[in-house]
């Protein structure tokens, strides 16, 4: 009988100790260097629609202190007139290190965006390539409108399940076709959730 009471006491004690343990929250792992855009173009690239590399819409882009969500700088794109309504341009990062991303993990791309835009606006996108072809693609386009006149607002796109086995993980901030006006991107992050 004493053995049963002792066993029962140990079981209750074990349950109490385990229930008191606080599970440590897993920190989100940042994957993008210079997401705060404070080191000019370090890690960022800008490109035009590869079908129209001559920049027919006269996209103006750059690292600027005109507006920023935090501390001082952001990436800007401006277009004053649409001469080709299929052309677009974008900022991005590529060859993002994937070694510590578990298969099945959720990836979240966030950016604070200030817009003074007319038309389709801008979008955020996550893309993974295998052998030079898209293995997956997630975008805000068609789901979340990022256009009009708004102060810095945080937007995000989520890839629900990272499949692994890719050659190139990329993110894009796209100035969509049929858009005029200017946009500022700041505080960009890609995290594993």
Over its length of 193 residues, how does the chain's per-residue pLDDT go in tens digits? 555 444 445 445 454 445 544 445 455 557 999 999 999 878 999 998 777 778 899 999 999 999 999 989 999 999 999 999 999 999 999 999 999 899 999 999 999 999 999 999 999 999 999 999 999 999 999 999 999 999 999 999 999 999 999 999 999 999 999 999 999 999 999 999 8
Q: What is the DSSP letter of 16?
A: H
Tens digit of each residue's pLDDT (9 = 90 or more) over 117-170: 999 999 999 999 999 999 999 999 999 999 999 999 999 999 999 999 999 999
Nearest residue to 38 via CA among 188, 178, 193: 188
Residue ranges and CATH numbers for the domains of the chain are 26-192 (2.60.120.260)
Which residue matches tokens 């990272």? 162
Nearest residue to 113 via CA among 34, 32, 191, 189: 189
User: How many C-beta atoms lie closer than 10 Å to residue 119's C-beta?
Assistant: 16
Strands 29-30, 179-192: pairing is antiparallel
Strands 122-130, 133-139: pairing is antiparallel
Backbone region of residue 26 per phi and psi (left: phi > 0; alpha: psi in -120 to 50; beta: other values)? beta
> Dihedral sign, CA of 44, 52, 114, 120?
negative
pLDDT score of 8: 45
pLDDT score of 154: 99
Q: Percent of the chain at pLDDT above 70?
A: 85
């Amino acid at each position: 009988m004493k053995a049963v009471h002792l066993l029962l006491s140990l079981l209750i004690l074990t349950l109490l100790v385990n229930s008191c343990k606080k599970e440590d929250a897993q920190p989100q792992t940042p994957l993008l260097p210079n997401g705060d855009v404070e080191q000019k173009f370090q890690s960022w690239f800008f490109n035009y629609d590869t079908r129209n590399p001559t920049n027919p819409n006269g996209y103006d882009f750059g690292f600027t202190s005109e507006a920023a969500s935090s501390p001082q700088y952001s990436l800007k794109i401006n277009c004053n007139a649409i001469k080709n309504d299929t052309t677009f341009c974008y900022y991005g990062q590529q060859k993002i290190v994937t070694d510590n991303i578990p298969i099945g993990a959720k990836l979240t791309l966030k950016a604070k965006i200030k817009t003074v835009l007319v038309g389709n606006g801008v979008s955020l996108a996550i893309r993974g390539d295998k052998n030079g072809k898209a293995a997956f693609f997630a975008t805000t386009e068609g789901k979340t409108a990022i256009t009009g006149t708004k102060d810095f607002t945080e937007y995000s796109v989520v890839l629900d399940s990272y499949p692994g086995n890719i050659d190139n993980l990329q993110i894009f901030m796209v100035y969509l076709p049929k858009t005029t006006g200017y946009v500022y991107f700041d505080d960009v992050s890609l995290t594993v959730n």
